Every structure is written in structure tokens, then in C-alpha cells.
Amino acid sequence: MDATLEAIKRTTKGKNEARRLRAQGRIPATIYGAQKAGERGQTFPVAVDPKPLLRILHSESGLNTLITLNVDGEGASRVLVKEFQLDPITHDLLHADFYRVNMDRRITVTVPFVFKGEPRGVKVEGGVLEPLQREIELECLPAEIPDAIDVDVKDLGLGDAIFVRDVATNASWTLISDLDLMIVHVVTPRAVEEPVAAEAAATAAVPAATTAEPEVIKKGKTEKEGEAAPAKEGGKKEK
């Protein structure tokens, strides 16, 4: 997937500048890397609107979206989002790093698997489809990054599996992960132990004459339980 994003070059840095930009509806960002072979990589700060960038990050291609970044006064760059930082409380986008890519040079990306179809081993034989890998590393040109790799599982019977070597058939990209790595298989459902028999045995062991004493609940003041501290959500360090 391709997308377009507008950016404004900025000349100041620091926390005060970042707060000022966010108050104006933008976030600080950084561009780095070389666009062409032999070109010296440049690094410079910009500001972008976080709303369209969040839509790109939440799209099907996500971090693998090839973005045409139009920089005010600097022309357009083809970039990928390399890192981004979210506010741990509000989940607002705070900062992003864009990596300029050479369109003629192959790069390494991580792409998710999408499982297609209902396995025969599930539909007919009562098994369970168990994915072992959700994504895979591959190498390709920036313009040929796939949104996902489809894995057809409908012919899988009970005990059957699909390995990385079974999906390594596309000429536009090269898999980096181990070819013998198992992606998904169909397994027998795990048996669920019924506790009925154990409970019956335990009940029979209790003497008939024995009756449980009622629990006495005393009224009065109780200690107020402390509230649990909110869980911290990790974010990437702002550059």
C-alpha cells in the first residue's frame, strides 16, 4: 500500500517546541537515511499531522506502508515509519521517525500471515487449528512489500502442518526465516478433565453427621483496600 503525507520542516528542537507543536495539532518527527545509492544520508526534523499518520499505522499494511512524504521546501521523499511513540494514557501519537528508502535497493521487513479457509481437520475430524507463527521476515524492494502473506489451510487434516518452505513461492520477495519453521498445524483438542468424579468422592468422604458451621461475618469498619496502580503502557523513546 502507498500513502501520501504532508510535513513541515522545523528549525527548533526540545520539549518546549514539541509541546508547542502538539498544541497546534502537529507532532515532531525526524527524517533520516539516503534516497539513492551513493547519496549521503540526511537527517532533519519535521512536523506532521498525527491524524493521517495514525490512519496509515492502523491500515492493513501498517508499518510496511510506503509513504510519499512531501516536505515543505525539500521536495518529496519515499519513506517508511521506522519508530513511533504513543502517550501511555491517551494513546495519542507523540513522535515518529521516518526512514528514507532507496527504491532500487531491497530491504528487510516483517509481514503478517493471513490464514484462508476452514481446515478439513477442523470441519470434519474435530481438530483445532493452531497457528505457531503470526508473521515472517522477508526481503524485497520497497515498492513490492506485501500487505500480508496468504496461507491456504483448507486442505489440512488432523496432524497436518504448513511450513515456511510451503509459502516460499513468490519471485518478488525472498524469505529470510528458517524454511523448516512450522507456521500452523491442526491438532487434537486438549482433553478437559471433568471434576465431577473427584467432587463426588470428596463428598462421600465427609461423615454424614458432620455439618458445616455457618460463617460469621462481623459488622464494623473494614480497612479500605488500596487501588491498584494503573498498568504502564510502553512507548518508544522520543528522539
Within 8 A by CB and 6+ apart from 114, the residues are: 148, 149, 150, 151
Give this prediction's pTM.
0.69
Residue 3 in contact with residue 145, Cβ under 8 Å?
Answer: no
Predicted pLDDT of residue 114:
94
Predicted pLDDT of residue 121:
94
- How far is C-alpha 175 from the geometric centre of its chain's CA atoms? 19
Residue 181 in contact with residue 133, Cβ under 8 Å?
Answer: yes
- The residues facing 175 across adjacent strands are 138
- How far is C-alpha 213 from the geometric centre of its chain's CA atoms? 53
Predicted pLDDT of residue 13:
75
* Closest-CA residue to 67 (of 141, 136, 2, 139): 2
Predicted pLDDT of residue 203:
52
- How far is C-alpha 232 from the geometric centre of its chain's CA atoms? 18
Quote the cell numbers at residue 199. Answer: 467432587
Predicted pLDDT of residue 199:
53
Cα–Cα distance for residue pair 195/147, rounded to 1 Å: 46
Taking 50 as the pLDDT cut, the residues of the chain under it are: 191-198, 208-239
Residue 35 in contact with residue 100, Cβ under 8 Å?
Answer: yes
Domain residue extents for the chain: 2-102, 108-187
CATH superfamily of domain region 2-102: Ribosomal Protein L25; Chain P (2.40.240.10)
**DSSP three-state, residue 70:** strand
CATH superfamily of domain region 108-187: Ribosomal protein L25, C-terminal domain (2.170.120.20)
Phi, psi of 167 (to 5 degrees): -115, 5
Residue 82 in contact with residue 99, Cβ under 8 Å?
Answer: yes
pLDDT tens-digit map of 1-44: 789 999 998 877 777 888 888 888 999 999 998 877 667 777 88
Phi, psi of 236 (to 5 degrees): -80, 145
